[in-house]
Amino acid sequence: MPEGPEIRRAADKLKRALEGQRALSVRFAADRFPALQSSGKCLSGRVIEAVEPRGKAMLTRFAGGLTVYSHNQLYGEWAIYRGEAPPSHLQTRLAIRTPTHSAILYSASEIEVLRTADVNRHPYIAKLGVELLDPAVTEADVLAQVCAPRFARRNLAGLLLDQGFLAGVGNYLRSDILFAARLHPAARPADLTPAQRAALARVALRMTRQSYRTRGITNDPQLARRLKAQGLAFGAYRHWVFDRAGAPCHACGHPIVRVDFGSRGLYLCERCQPGPA
């Protein structure tokens, strides 16, 4: 599933192609979204005022007070073409055509048309926690969330996937944030020292923003460059621990292990991230 950095990069591309343009046509897949067919006709001809990522969702705001909410879920993918979109084996769910570009959302399963005034009341948007990729968010904001009593007794493995905690974090960020902060996934905020809580806040903010800037690299940038120069493939140098089961830890050489937390695989170094007492 795309995580916050991937959604924001997609939003950047959509902004450049769509913002300020008039939508010649807006089409929703009739078989998947029959109730949105009239909305497509209503949105066609309107100016696209803004594209905004929120957590793992995308908001495409049209003139006249309407916004398209979309969530890629596991398989959704945005593509932008100059002119008409070419044929594709992927399932088109939403197609926006302007005089210069076509923006196509493939394979997504969650799309709605909302009144712009109601966007912040949408169930997903309303529950979002601190947005790590919001430029206005500071380390102090993240630390306050880490220290909030309502999260104190939940294990970090589950908490980091809760969009009501830190919006935009998904499975690869979860594993690498915990590794870089030297925290075990079974630990809870209540179990952490002040220094550990500060490390979690600092790493979560820094790593998520680094992933956005570097197209998904969560490893130490200098180490990643050295490993790339040695001929390693992108997947081998991209992450600290994620998807590296059996490979040596970049920090200590101990084999990385994969464990299941909350029905999803999580990766860690048992030497660098010892379990709570």
CB atoms within 10 A of CB 228: 15
- The reported pLDDT for the residue numbered 261 is 82
Angle at 158 between CA 271 and CA 182, to 5 degrees: 25
Q: Judge whether 112 counts as a catalytic residue.
A: no
225: CB partners within 8 A, 6+ apart? none
Number of neighbours of residue 48 by Cβ within 10 angstroms: 24
| Catalytic position from the list 8, 9, 54, 56 | 56
Backbone angles phi, psi at 205, to 5 degrees: -70, -50
- Whole-angstrom Cα distance, residue 12 to residue 127? 24
Going from the C-alpha of 52 to that of each of 41, 48, 85, 96, 276, the distances in angstroms are: 22, 11, 23, 16, 39
**How confident is the model at residue 277, as a pLDDT?**
63
Annotated catalytic residue 84: no
The per-residue pLDDT for 268 is 97
Query: 83: alpha, beta or left, given left = phi > 0 and alpha = psi -120 to 50?
Result: left
Average pLDDT across each block of 10 residues of the chain; the chain has 277 residues. List them in order: 91 97 97 96 98 95 98 91 94 97 96 98 97 96 98 96 96 97 97 97 98 96 96 94 96 96 88 87
276 is catalytic: no
* Closest CA relative to residue 32, chosen from 97, 121, 107: 107
Place of tokens 């705001």: 61
Which helix (H) or strand (E) element contains residue 111? strand 110-115
pLDDT for the residue numbered 73: 86
What is residue 81's three-state secondary structure? strand
Task: Return d(Cα 260, Cα 239) in angstroms, integer.
Answer: 18
For residue 2, indicate whether it is catalytic.
yes
